[in-house]
Chains A and B, each alone.
Chain A
């Protein structure tokens, strides 16, 4: 099946800093989502972005489908941004299952 790798696994930043999270995937995809799992365990939809660029406030994402990667940018980070960020994809081929990466744990220090 498709492989999804996220980097870095852990990231600790001071409040106000910017960050870039990366997601690499091993096959062409027709679905790519970014999620934020907050400290209460809720999975929050950030972006549905199988290709192109989107922005929502301080967050933006870019997927370069031909090169099989996606980036999530967080600007002017706040303590509420802490949590685990997951990338999940569905391959164009195979079993149509949403496959999750292992996540990036982001900790924002006040």
Chain B
């Protein structure tokens, strides 16, 4: 079975540009999570969806960040405008159920903002 699929794997762009990260969750999973990993802060949850509806976006760092889930098989995380401090690895994860079910992670997108 296909796991969580993220694209692109790597993104290098200049400060001020819009960045769009994409995620396809595992089919049948009803929860989708976006995480960010940095050396300073480790792995932290940005936002999560249940049945395509955003439930908790308290981890989203600023208004420059937005996430959408237009259907059960696709989600995007956008940064506009991007800044060098947004450089990090962004992971998407999905699960069937939430607290008492395992989350499955994609391979991540390594983002570098110059």
Residues of A within 8 A of B (CB): 30-31, 33, 35, 41-43, 45, 48, 50, 86, 88, 90, 95-98, 100, 102-103
With contacts A41-B110, A43-B105, A86-B43 known, is A98 near B33, CB below 8 A?
Answer: yes
Enumerate 6 A-B pairs (CB-CB under 8 Å) in ascending A order. A31-B101, A43-B108, A90-B98, A90-B99, A96-B99, A98-B45
With contacts A96-B99, A100-B42, A100-B43 known, is A35 near B107, CB below 8 A?
Answer: no
* Cβ contact within 8 Å between B102 and A33: yes
Closest residue of A by beta carbon distance from B33: A98
Question: How many angstroms from the CA of A97 to the CA of B107 in the assembled complex?
Answer: 20
* Cβ contact within 8 Å between A98 and B103: yes
Closest residue of B by beta carbon distance from A97: B45
Chain B interface size, under 10 / 10 to 19 / 20 to 34 / 35 or more: 20 to 34
Chain B window 87-108, contacts with chain A (Cβ cutoff 8 Å), 1 for yes, 0 for no: 0010100000011111111011
* Number of A-B residue pairs at CB separation under 8 A: 45
Give the secondary structure class of A's interface.
strand
Closest residue of B by beta carbon distance from A43: B105
Question: How many angstroms from the CA of A98 to the CA of B102 in the assembled complex?
Answer: 10
Question: How many angstroms from the CA of A102 to the CA of B102 in the assembled complex?
Answer: 19
Question: How many angstroms from the CA of A37 to the CA of B90 in the assembled complex?
Answer: 14
Interface centre among A88, A100, A103 (most CB of B within 10 A): A100
- CB-CB under 8 A from A98, the residues of chain B are 33, 45, 103
Closest residue of B by beta carbon distance from A47: B102
